[in-house]
Structure 1
Amino acid sequence: MALLQFGDEGARRIERVYATPDVVRQREQVLELLQPAVGEEILDVGSGPGFLLRSIAEAVGPAGSARGLEPSAAMNAMAQARCADVAWVGLDEGNAEALPYSAASFDAVVSTQVYEYVADVLGALVEVRRVLRPGGRVVVLDTDWDSVVWHATDRERHRRVMAAWEEHLVDARLPRTLPGLLERAGFRVVERRLIPVFNPVYDEDTYSAGTIDTIGAFVTGRHGLTDDDVARWAADLRSRGTDYLFSLNRYCFVATATGEPP
């Protein structure tokens, strides 16, 4: 397992994908579930290029605060630029397993596409419980990568690409165990929502099209995949036009803090 590293080029690729209508719709649903209120203090764990963080800040207003925690300096630089005119946004460099905040610091915590990269998810969720105030809430979204449907001509080559891609994750099927982990960390799960990504035709301005290069850069040299193998895989997908089809399921859980932190 080798995690993705987000230097400047990788961060720009992710920023472009996060600006697609697919991910914009995902953020809208996450915000609907988070329900940020004026005056609240909210933490975004894995805040990336700052799109969600900016929306949270606009919702809580200057009476509240929006804090972003992100291990990538390149991502933090993007988020800082995106939120530069919002004085009540703060950004820190760090990871989900050791939150650099005092106990009972936040009204809510949100994290999207983060815990599938974390080795000790239970410990990370206990950390979330620690920094939440009594009755606080958490919204967590992650992907089950078994849910991917992607039309490719060479199925064996595509299988190797996707198997190699899973090596960038700690747990490619985390949503299956997330509710139980949240309960063990001191939460009660109050809502579950499926958020699908569906691209029925090839379009550059979609999540799947934007992810092809990220996958290709990671899998080259893994599972025997050569530069030529990956180039042919990508060219095949991009040539499909209206014969293209991609779908992926993401799972979002809303939980409230109960009792004392474990």
Structure 2
Amino acid sequence: MPNFQFDEYGAQDIDRTYAGPDIAAQREYVLSLLGLRPGERVLDIGSGPGYLAVSMAQAVGPTGAVHGMDPSPAMNAIARARGADIPWLRIDDGDALALPYSDDTFDVAVSTQVYEYVADMPRALGELRRVLRPGGRALILDTDWDTLVWHTADRELHQRVIKAWEEHLVHPRLPRTLAGLLRRAGFTVTGQGVHVLFNPELTEDSFSASSMKTIAEFVPGRQGLSEADVAAWLADLRARNDEGDWFYSVNRYVFMATAP
């Protein structure tokens, strides 16, 4: 993950964001598409603070198994604590480019907001295919950051901030090529959809509120942005809210596929 590491502090921020209503709604969307059945074996690639992994473990029950996997020790510590009372849930250390599992291990694999950080997508999808059993199904969800609509008065400054923010990603527009990448990796693409994160107002627990904080911490010194520039960007956004003009929307695209 370039220039963006989930240390203990960052992992706690992500944990708070994932507890909010916007990402909770995204989890429900993902779970509805998966239709998990009791007894299935599931892999969550980039499981982060473990909310989705716990929900999937509850869905497959004690006759199934869920493995969450993440390269961040801080994230894994949070996830292990969250799922400590579920014996059939394990949180493993690992990387999307070298999954620490045997061939044909899982019935289902999920990756949400992960592959946009992975440089070698053919290799990552090859690993995904390797660990899925024949006929196993995969779900991938990632953001196209060109879909971000965020009302500001100073459009030039805002564009500089977002361009700097995209430096934390390898593939800020990954969904445009994901279906083709999956097909070239040998998968059959069975469905595509979109989940919109939409905040018509700024609330403390909204995704846009946490985004403001995370972006403001990341972008100073990038694209020529100073601390004063970032403070001005934040002030502009808060003014839009104070004037009743808050608008934030971004699209996350989901791809369903089956392994050969």
Query: Do Structure 1 and Structure 2 share a fold, with TM-score over 0.5?
Result: yes
Residues 102-251 of structure 1 aligned to structure 2 (within 5 Å): 102-241=102-241, 242-251=244-253
Deviation at 1:36, TM superposition (A): 1.4
Q: In 1, distance between residues paired with 2:229 and 2:202?
A: 20
Q: Tell me if the contact between 1:198 and 1:246 (Cα under 8 Å) persists in the aligned partners.
A: yes
Q: Tell me if the contact between 1:147 and 1:248 (Cα under 8 Å) persists in the aligned partners.
A: yes
Deviation at 1:238, TM superposition (A): 2.4
Q: Tell me if the contact between 2:2 and 2:117 (Cα under 8 Å) persists in the aligned partners.
A: no
2:10 aligns to what? 10
Q: In 1, distance between residues paired with 2:3 and 2:63?
A: 37
Q: Tell me if the contact between 1:110 and 1:139 (Cα under 8 Å) persists in the aligned partners.
A: yes
1:16-54 deviations in whole A, cap 9, x for unaligned?
A: 111111111111011111121101110000000000000
TM-score (norm 1): 0.96
RMSD: 1.0
Deviation at 1:146, TM superposition (A): 0.3
Question: Secondary structure at 1:37's aligned position in 2?
Answer: coil
- In the TM superposition, structure 1's runs of 4+ consecutive aligned residues that sit over 3 Å from their partners are none
Q: In 2, distance between residues paired with 1:105 and 1:2?
A: 30
2:78 aligns to what? 78
- What is the one-letter code of the residue matched to 1:252? V
1:255 is aligned, of 243, 257, 260, to 257
Deviation at 1:122, TM superposition (A): 1.4
Q: In 2, distance between residues paired with 1:122 and 1:3?
A: 22
Number of equivalences: 258
Q: In 2, distance between residues paired with 1:230 and 1:159?
A: 12
2:69 aligned with 1:49: no
Question: Secondary structure at 2:196's aligned position in 1?
Answer: strand
Deviation at 1:227, TM superposition (A): 1.2
Q: Tell me if the contact between 2:15 and 2:49 (Cα under 8 Å) persists in the aligned partners.
A: yes
Q: Tell me if the contact between 1:202 and 1:240 (Cα under 8 Å) persists in the aligned partners.
A: no
Question: Secondary structure at 1:142's aligned position in 2?
Answer: strand
1:27 aligns to what? 27
The range that moved more, 117-126 or 41-50, is 117-126
1:98-129 deviations in whole A, cap 9, x for unaligned?
A: 10100001001000000010011111011110
Deviation at 1:212, TM superposition (A): 0.9
Question: Secondary structure at 1:128's aligned position in 2?
Answer: helix
Question: Secondary structure at 2:254's aligned position in 1?
Answer: strand
1:85-110 deviations in whole A, cap 9, x for unaligned?
A: 10111111111111010000100100
Q: In 1, distance between residues paired with 2:24 and 2:174?
A: 23
TM-score (norm 2): 0.97
Deviation at 1:231, TM superposition (A): 1.7
Identity of matched residues, %: 58
Unaligned runs of at least 5 residues, structure 2: none
Q: In 2, distance between residues paired with 1:126 and 1:77?
A: 28
Q: Tell me if the contact between 1:108 and 1:138 (Cα under 8 Å) persists in the aligned partners.
A: yes
Question: Secondary structure at 2:99's aligned position in 1?
Answer: coil
